[in-house]
Amino acid sequence: MKAIRSMILVSSDPESMDHGALEVFSTLQKQILAHGLEEEISLSMISDVSKKSQNPLVLVYPDAVIYGSVTPEDIPHIVEEHLYKGRVVEEKQISPYDLSGRIAWLTARKGTLPAENRIVLKNVGLIDPEIIDDYIINEGYEALGKVLKEMTPKETYTVIKESGLQGRGGAGFPTGLKWQFVAGEKRDKKYVICNADESEPGTFKDRLVLEGDPHAIIEAMTIAAYAVGADEGFVYIRGEYGLAITRMQKAIEQAQEYGLLGDNIFGTGFAFNIHIHAGAGAYICGEETALIESIEGNRGEPRARPPYPTTAGLWQKPTVVNNVETLANIPAIIRNGPEWYKSIGTPSSPGTKVYTILGNVNVTGLIEVPMGITLREVISIYAKGMKDGGTFKVAQTGGSSGSIIPASLQDTPMDFDSYNKAGVSLGSGALLIGNQDVCVVDLAKVLLNFFRFESCGKCNPCRIGNKRAFDVLSRIAEGVGNLQDLVDLQMLSNQLFELSNCGLGQTAGSPLKDILAHFQAEVEAHIKLKVCPAGVCPMSGNWEHQID
């Protein structure tokens, strides 16, 4: 595929619009076409750029060159000189220091248009997953050999700790530290569990790895087992993933035949066996303690913590639970070292992240990119822009347990730290991109409907809170809400977060908080004006039929 080499942004704040930003945009479009550059340059509008009077602005990225104030007459020269010949038009250039923090970030990234960088998906889509030799040709099982022959368990978890790898299952817990906790437990039996439940709606990244590169998971789990002193492991795969289960089973058998799994791995006497456990499709069983209950044959309900699984996990033994994507990073880190891993991504969140892109964009699918790229980059570079010329309005991260993110946060680097600071979360890697036709009340309603069904019912705040929040949202969507509902939604959001027993209820309040924080006017329009600005909600004045 041809790669986009440059991204052009035109400021579109009200002041820029007054000064002809739209004409600048359309002239740029024409000039780019005239030079035949449309395949390699992406063009989009940007809001919230400037505090100063040099509007409209044109930003060229990755060079991080900013032009202002630009008129349509300037465009042919800029396109010809800069985009075609690669020479900066200095007389139109302005300093980035007058701009808002968001753009300061873009200039800090000068010269780096993020390329896809595949670590987790290195082999996926290239090798035949049912042939172990195909994996071995691609450096497979080399990391396991290195660990077993040349490293102590302590050295092993220390390398992972130093790499800065954080869990990709949603919570972002440091993986090396988790391993160290389990390694430090003096017990007769320990377990390693691979969480392949992938229960977040809209995520399918783990499935790709399981189907496309199952040996990577086996190798990583065995390395984890050696590091913590475990001799038995489980891969908990959701039952719907039939192909993943078949391929994983086949891979386990092949590894056993080669002596890479079993009682005498690499001839070292180290023993580790892996079982597959198929889940039955409950969202809550992706939560690690509910997952453990489920393997034990009990109803999938979360346990009270502490004690955490690292001290009392499966059958009360110390247990490592790691997500598929987390594990898929392990062999590469062992082979290449922690310094290499830290050179990718951002200082606080090293490595890559796999995202599934869904929604109103031109290209959906899966990408693996360095931590720290922005939503804008994802949409304009990888998703090839909004479908049918739509405007980006809202993104939903993380399957369900993520955040509703407004367009104003699209230049925030996507890593654990920056997203935390912005009050949103990355979730587990689904990116649902919505255009102007998405109603945030409806979106929140869909999410709360999901949570209300998936709540296991063990704790009251989650069981009742989700139902209550869904009812309130339904009323608003039917045009019979009142202003007290806004207060109630905020309260429910707080209580879900503070009082729920596990992550399900704790994150169920996020959509409520997010729409009140970023889209209050739109929610209020439903209540005060009795209109749904996006034209999605039924507004029928009757909500009784919603109750089931």
Partner 1 sequence: MSTIKSLDDLKKIREEALKKQQIKESSGKTEVIVGMGTVGIAAGARETLKAILETIEKENLSDIIVRQTGNIGLDSYEPIVQVAVSGKDKVSYGKVNPEMAQRIIKEHVVEGEIISEYQIKG
Ligand X SMILES: Cc1cc2nc3c(=O)[nH]c(=O)nc-3n(C[C@H](O)[C@H](O)[C@H](O)COP(=O)(O)O)c2cc1C
Tell me how far apart the alpha carbons of residues 152 and 237 are, in angstroms, rounded to a whole number. Answer: 30
Q: Does 134 bind partner 1 (CB under 8 A)?
A: yes
Q: Which of 211, 219, 288, 485 binds ligand X (CB under 6 A)?
A: 288
Min dist. Cβ of residue 504 to ligand X (A): 4
Number of Cβ within 10 Å of residue 128's Cβ equals 11
Residues paired with 386 in a beta bridge: 361
Helices 153-163/324-336 angle, 10° precision: 100
Sites for partner 1 among residues 213-232 (CB under 8 A): 213
* Interaxial angle between packed helices 142-150 and 324-336, expressed in degrees from 0 to 180 and rounded to the nearest 10: 60
Residue 345 Rama label (left phi>0; alpha psi -120 to 50; beta): left
Our finding on whether 323 is near ligand X (CB under 6 A) is yes
State the nearest-atom distance from the C-beta of 309 to partner 1, in Å.
Answer: 29
Size, binding site for ligand X by CB under 6 A = 24
Q: Does 241 bind partner 1 (CB under 8 A)?
A: yes
- Judged by CB under 8 A, the stretch of 10-18, 140-148, 173-181, 332-340 that binds partner 1 is 140-148
Residues 245-284 that bind partner 1 (CB under 8 A): 257-260, 264, 266-267
Closest CB 155 distance from partner 1, rounded Å: 16
Is residue 415 at the binding interface for ligand X, with CB under 6 A as the rule?
A: no
Closest CA to 526 of 468, 491, 487, 482: 482
By the rule CB under 6 A, 167 interacts with ligand X: yes
Footprint of partner 1 on 45-104 (CB under 8 A): none
Interaction between residue 532 and partner 1 (CB under 8 A):
no
d(CA 387, CA 381): 13
Peptide bond into 56 cis (omega under 30): yes
Residue with tokens 């699984």: 309
- For 58, phi then psi, to 5°, come to -125, 125
> Bridge-partner residues for 193, per DSSP?
234, 321
Interaction partner, residue 102 (ligand X, partner 1, none; CB < 5-8 Å by kind) = none
Query: Edge-to-edge strand order for the sheet containing 191-196?
Result: 262-265, 270-279, 232-238, 191-196, 319-323
By CB under 8 A, is residue 127 in contact with partner 1? yes
User: Mask of contacts with ligand X, 231-270, x by CB under 6 A?
Assistant: ----------------------------------------
**Least distance in angstroms from the C-beta of 131 to ligand X:** 27
List binders of ligand X among 190-209 (CB under 6 A).
Answer: 195, 197-200
Number of residues that bind partner 1 (CB under 8 A): 45
Question: Rounded to a whole number, what is the distance in angstroms from the first to the last CA of the chain?
Answer: 49
The answer to whether 363 touches 474, Cβ cutoff 8 Å, is no
Residues near ligand X (CB under 6 A) are 167-171, 173, 175, 195, 197-200, 283-284, 286-288, 321-323, 326, 502-504
Residues near partner 1 (CB under 8 A) are 1-4, 39, 121, 124-130, 133-134, 136-137, 141-142, 145-146, 149, 204, 207-208, 211-213, 241, 243-244, 257-260, 264, 266-267, 362-368
